[in-house]
């Protein structure tokens, strides 16, 4: 009760050392309770545990589950900060994370994409946590289309993003991109992408009945779609 009052995270028994995954759970609680601090004796034990060979035996799945749960909290950045303080996370990787505090209802995919600012960090996390495909995909696309997400609209860039997000077959990623963009000060991209998709879908091979299938037809469709999107913009 005293620790709760003083906002301190502390292990409650010597059994804490029996499972090295508990180090990540403390990191996760740090993200859940950003106003709390880790007790010095607990931190010392965590430091020993995370650098012990037993920690390396943890499966990628168990590691990822702790990180995934962290994405439900408002300050997942603190999960990584604690790992850096424990000398487990390299400095160059830690410095690439964005220290953002999120709204409670922000989608976990959105949080994850906003935390990561370069490909090296994504690669490192994938190596350590074996990220699911969806998480790798949304970060890759966010990094690739950064200028568009922040509001630099060009018709060919919009079409490229729609194609990269596979929106012509399923527009499920567009709301996620819209949520990411809102955190970057761009509130309009979701409606623009949906409008552009609707307009681009009206153009197909049927618009060019005299052009046989092949590269020439594909180029004509692409050019016509870019022109249609440009009118929307």
- HSE value, Cβ hemisphere, 13 Å, CA-based, for 233: 20
- Confidence at residue 105, expressed as pLDDT on a 0 to 100 scale: 87
Alpha-carbon torsion angle 106, 112, 118, 124, nearest 10 = 170
In a domain, 131, yes or no: no
- Confidence at residue 231, expressed as pLDDT on a 0 to 100 scale: 92
User: Is the pTM here over 0.85, yes or no?
Assistant: yes
In a domain, 99, yes or no: yes
In a domain, 216, yes or no: no
In a domain, 65, yes or no: yes
Domain count, the chain: 1
Average pLDDT of the chain to the nearest whole number: 94
d(CA 131, CA 112): 11
- pLDDT, one tens digit per residue, over 1-31 is 999 999 999 999 999 999 999 999 999 999 9
In a domain, 162, yes or no: no
d(CA 200, CA 138): 22
49 in Cβ contact with 14 (< 8 Å): no
Stretch (H or E) spanning 38: strand 37-38
In a domain, 231, yes or no: no
153: tokens are 């609209």
> Residue-wise over 65-85: b if at least 16 C-beta within 10 A, else e?
ebbbbbbebbbbbbbbbbbeb
Measured from the Cβ of residue 135, the count of other Cβ atoms closer than 10 Å reads: 22
In a domain, 189, yes or no: no
d(CA 26, CA 76): 12
- pLDDT, one tens digit per residue, over 158-215 is 999 999 999 999 999 999 999 999 999 999 999 999 999 999 999 988 888 888 888 8
d(CA 36, CA 14): 21
- pLDDT, one tens digit per residue, over 57-113 is 999 999 999 999 999 998 999 999 999 999 999 999 999 998 988 988 899 999 999
In a domain, 174, yes or no: no
Stretch (H or E) spanning 37: strand 37-38
Structural domain harbouring 20: 1-103
- Confidence at residue 204, expressed as pLDDT on a 0 to 100 scale: 87
What average pLDDT does the segment 212-233 reach?
91
CA distances (Å), 128 to each of 56, 117, 121, 205, 220, in order?
Answer: 10, 17, 11, 45, 44
Residue 74's CATH number: 1.10.110.30
């Amino acid at each position: 009760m005293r620790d709760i009052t003083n906002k301190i995270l502390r292990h409650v028994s010597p059994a804490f050392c029996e499972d090295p995954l508990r180090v990540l759970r403390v990191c996760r609680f740090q993200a859940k309770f950003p106003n709390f601090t880790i007790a010095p004796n607990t931190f010392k034990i965590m430091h020993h545990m995370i650098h012990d060979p037993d920690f390396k035996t943890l499966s990628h799945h168990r590691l990822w589950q702790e990180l995934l749960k962290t994405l439900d909290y408002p300050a997942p950045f603190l999960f990584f900060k604690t790992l850096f303080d424990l000398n487990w996370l390299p400095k160059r990787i830690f410095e690439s994370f964005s220290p953002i505090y999120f709204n409670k209802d922000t989608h976990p995919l959105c949080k994850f994409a906003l935390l990561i600012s370069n490909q090296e960090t994504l690669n490192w996390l994938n190596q350590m946590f074996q990220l699911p495909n969806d998480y790798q995909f949304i970060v890759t696309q966010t990094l690739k289309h950064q200028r568009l997400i922040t509001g630099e609209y060009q018709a060919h860039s919009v079409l490229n993003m729609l194609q990269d997000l596979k929106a012509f077959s399923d527009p499920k990623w567009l709301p996620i991109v819209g949520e990411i963009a809102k955190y970057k000060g761009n509130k309009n991209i979701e409606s623009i992408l949906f409008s552009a998709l609707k307009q681009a879908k009206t153009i197909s091979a049927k618009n060019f009945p005299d052009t046989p299938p092949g590269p020439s037809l594909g180029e004509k469709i692409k050019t016509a779609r870019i022109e249609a999107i440009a009118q929307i913009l």
